[in-house]
Structure 1
Amino acid sequence: MTGANRSGILLVDKPQGITSHDVVSRTRKRAGTRKVGHAGTLDPMATGLLVLGINSSTRLLTFLVGLDKEYFATIRLGASTSTDDAEGETLRTANAESVAAVHPEAIRTALDSLSGVISQVPSSVSAIKVDGKRAYTLARAGETVELAARAVTISALELLGSRATDGFLDLDVRVECSSGTYIRAIARDLGESLGIGGHLTALRRTKIGPFSVSNAAELETLDVAASLLGPADVASRLFPVYTLSAAEAVDLGHGKRLHAIRPVDGEGPVAAIAPDGRLVGLVEFTASIAKPLVNFPTDEVLA
């Protein structure tokens, strides 16, 4: 990447065994800038889509964090763990006969009960803060962590296949869910509802909003400059577009409000694009006034 002042959004396919912070650290070195952030972590065990922001495009990450997501996962029925995944200590193991006795219809019924708008208790090793400390820090220090249930939406929980494995039953599932959903908690709750325990053994994130892992770069061969998505391109996928006049682009760049009509009905941010295709900022409309939410500098090289 030539120059540390390029700006854009980067889609990366995170490999297993490293943290999301590791991905950010390696990307900083390749991009030649410290200004790299991500929109939502993945556990070291998990693989798949990470969305990174470079330089001023980190300002877009706030609007990416809350997007719906898609995952493919493997749930192992027959054992529960301290972390609700394969990296934790085994707490309880069901006998092979109990696992084999679970009827496929019972599994489908349990999956249906975990679909839709549900109340979910996050995993005790989540990144949620409790009294100023991360829940996973407290849990790994041996403290009892009790987290409040929260409403999440699981719009799809599809059973793709199952297989018996060493006295356990492994289920391959596809999940479409709202931001804030814990797939480990789905595995835990499914196992509890069936009375045999459950935990997650594999997880891959395949989509965040309109962005797919199929368009992501491999970390080991990452060419930052070639892989960057321009901020205007990204904003146009996320929000309605208001095309500015040259004079409006200057005014908005100076933080001024605009007298303008929202391009489509609705609420939420609108991408304000200059005549040359540059993302000047995100604005919100009140009646016939467009107020800047966030602006983007003009001195960066846009992807």
Structure 2
Amino acid sequence: MNAPRTRVQRRPVHGVLLLDKPLGLSSNQALQKAKWLLRAEKAGHTGTLDPLATGVLPLCFGAATKFSQLHLDADKTYEATARLGVKTSTGDAEGEVIAGRPVNVNADDLARVEAQFTGPIRQTPPMHSALKKDGKALYEYAREGIEIERAARDVVIYKLEVAAAPALPGQSAIRLTATVSKGTYIRTLGEDIGEALGCGAHLTALRRTATGDFDVSQCVTLEALEAMSEEERLAQLLPVESLVAGHSHVMLGTEDAARFLSGLRRRGEWADAAEVAVFGAEPHAFLGTAHVVSGELIPGRLLNPIEIQQTLLSTEATP
């Protein structure tokens, strides 16, 4: 007879875990695993990575979930490998082969497409994506063999490098390194570059190396996290305010901080700013976000007093 399963005792955990998502797991599966390891009450991620993709996946816990949208909108950097001459139904190695063409590509061709796809471009989102139509993800329609009309969207490829990549005998491949704006589909970029080269292409590997200010060198793997003690796992968490590192800072005294947290605007000699991170001076604690218009500090997303107290206690407990 099997022993009864031990129930995990959840607890308030606040902060950001930079995970190097492994191959084969969905973003939600990776999130749930990390949430279980940390025994966290509340968690969310900052935008999905496909199961076939690896790399930077910021996971938000507790109060940090209030600010996860900031990294949904962040610029991202990817490294990808695309096989030339073969198109698939999904734009990656998971799909069925739907077309094959000969490959005749040289260094000049690669330089041409690199220039062609750098800067503002328009992309049509792929059918195999999580975009929704009438409350249903496009990939669900795709699995049913239904093609939905999609509007092209404007995105920006800030930096792009295209180079020949090692490939199996009889095959050709390219390596893409791209820093892109939100909403950019790297699978679609690979497919479009393949078309511009006259042979078609599909992605065979995809790795996100940066999102916003977060870099893959800062990340921890699930395997490493599993091997740690509970204290070591908690020590991997970045503070909630790491999500607003690029914001300008405002420091409030005790009385103003209390009023700000109740949703009241404060007046001061602050320059206009669209994105402000607000801190209390005593004790030093992150309070939330705001914006400044004509010297008026207008609250945005705020931590509640319990969350602030818990983050202060966890900071004191961290060695």
TM range (shorter): over 0.9
Contact 1:79 1:92 in 2 (8 A): yes
- Judged with a 3 Å threshold, the aligned counterparts in structure 2 of structure 1 residues 160 and 191 are, in CA distance, closer, same or farther, namely closer
- The CA deviation at 1:84 is 0.4
2:232 matched to 1:226? no
Q: Would you say the 8 A contact 2:155–2:184 is kept in 1?
A: yes
Query: Secondary structure at the residue paired with 2:36?
Result: helix
Q: Which residue number in structure 2 is paired with residue 108 of structure 1?
A: 111
Pairwise CA RMSD: 1.8
Match of residue 65 from structure 1? 72
Bigger RCO (CA 8 Å, 6+ sep): 1
Partners of 1:197 and 1:160 lie apart in 2 by 16
Equivalent residues of 1:159, 1:171 under 8 A apart: yes
CA deviations over 1:1-37 (Å, ceiling 9, x no partner): 9971121111100000110000111122122234100
Partner of 1:271: 277
In the TM superposition, residue 164 of structure 1 has moved relative to its aligned partner by 4.4
How many residues align structurally? 296
Aligned pair partner of 1:250 in 253, 258, 262:
258
Residue aligned with 2:147, SS: coil
Q: Which of 23, 46, 52 is the equivalent residue of 1:45?
A: 52
Superposition deviation, residue 208 in structure 1? 0.6
Normalised to the residue count of structure 2, the TM-score between the two structures is 0.88
Match of 2:229? none
Cα distance in 2, alignment partners of residues 206 and 296 from structure 1: 30
Query: Cα distance, 1:152 vs. partner?
Result: 0.4
Look up the match of 1:180.
Answer: 183
Pick aligned residue for 1:291 from 281, 286, 298: 298
Any stretches of 5+ residues in structure 2 without a counterpart?
Answer: 1-7, 226-231
Q: Does 1:239 align with 2:247?
A: yes
Q: In the alignment, which of 64, 77, 80 is matched to residue 87 of structure 2? A: 80
1:137 aligns with 2:140: yes
* Shift in CA distance, 3/77, structure 1 to aligned 2, threshold 3 Å: same
C-alpha change, 1:131 and 1:57, in structure 2 (3 Å) is same
The answer on 1:215 being equivalent to 2:204 is no
AA paired with 1:142? G
Q: Kindly, what percent of the aligned residue pairs are identical?
A: 35
Distance 1:233 1:85, change over 3 A: closer
The structure 2 residue matched to 1:261, chosen from 266, 269, 275, is: 269
SS of aligned partner of 1:248? helix
Q: What's the CA shift string for 1:30-59, capped at 9, x where partnerless?
A: 222341000010000000000111011100
The TM-score with structure 1 as length reference comes to 0.93
Unaligned runs of 5+ in 1: none
Q: Counterpart of 1:240 in structure 2: which amino acid?
A: S
Distance 1:161 1:51 in 2: 31
